[in-house]
Copies of this chain bind each other. A is one copy, B any other.
Amino acid sequence: MSEVDCIQSLRDLLGPYALRVEELLDRWVPEPGVPEDLGKAMRYCVLDGGKRLRPALVFMTNEAVGTAGGDEELAERAAAAVELIHCYSLVHDDLPAMDDDDLRRGRPTAHVQFGQAMAILAGDALLTRAFSVLTECLMPKSCKLAFELAVAAGAAGMVAGQAGDMELCEVPKGREGLDFIHLRKTASLIVASVRMGAISANANEKQLRAVSNYGESIGLAFQLVDDLLDVTGKVELLGKTPGKDHASGKQTYVSVLGVDETRSIADTLTHQAMEAIAPLGAAGDKLGRLAKLLSERSH
């Protein structure tokens, strides 16, 4: 499949879920009582036409587990919450003191558009909003979901990954170090997405293990493929400048392992993801298709 066809198939698969979460975010961001300028900045950071991979994973695992009594409102809240966390992390990661990026999905980054102070505050506001969206319904299970999300997004998860990536804490050398960073920076929130989707559908332990393993594999594969695209990708498909990581001398899977080895590990991880969800049977077909398409972006 060509890169263009593959991205189109991904859009077709994720599109309906993206639309659904777009509507929820449009309704829930900002919450009532937010000053206009702050609310505008929050919406700018959130309503930006992203792929919405993480919310899609919440919905898809929710459907795949599909136990009777699973709660749809809870899945919707989890989907919006994980995307809010993802969006806040992009806003803060783009700041001059962090990765110093001016462009994100073809638009000026938040601090370029609104100034650094507003970007920091809008990020804080989105991170906090994730937890009010998730807990507002006061369902017993939303407490469990909030805990899953907070642990995955926190200092042992996503924040640790960014700290490692910024060389603010020690990480092992070579591939081990890259795995350390990206298991936290990227995979952690993806695992939280599939777990929240499954928990809100009343998954049993075996199902929860299956989707967790799936999430970890595609989460890591996602980063390997991103590193490949940084070398081989086209700017109009990436929505960001290709070659940037390479040019900055930043360690990537490709710079450490080379193109062929990186692609081979991505393929292995994708295979592991498919095996992990085998116990879900036909209900897991969409998740399998997603894993394949995410990997094929770089083929």
Give residues in A with beta carbon < 8 Å to B.
Answer: 30-39, 42, 88, 92, 95, 97-98, 114-118, 120-121, 123-125, 127-129, 131-132, 135-136, 138-140, 142-144, 146-147, 149-151, 153-156, 159-160, 162-164, 166, 168-171
Contacts and interface: CB of A to CB of B under 8 A. Distances in A.
Contacts of A154: 31, 125, 128-129, 132
A225 to B, nearest CB: 26
A169 B124 contact: no
Contacts of A39: 155
Contacts of A88: 124
Contacts of A92: 120-121, 124
A128 B143 contact: no
A211 B239 CA distance: 51
B128 A168 contact: no
Identical chains in the assembly: 2
A162 to B, nearest CB: 6
A150 B136 CA distance: 10
Contacts of A162: 121
* Chain A binding surface SS class: helix
Contacts of A125: 154-155, 159
Which interface residue of A42, A149, A155, A166 has the most chain B CB atoms within 10 A? Answer: A155
Contact of A170 (B37, B150, B166): B37
A7 to B, nearest CB: 31
A153 B74 CA distance: 22
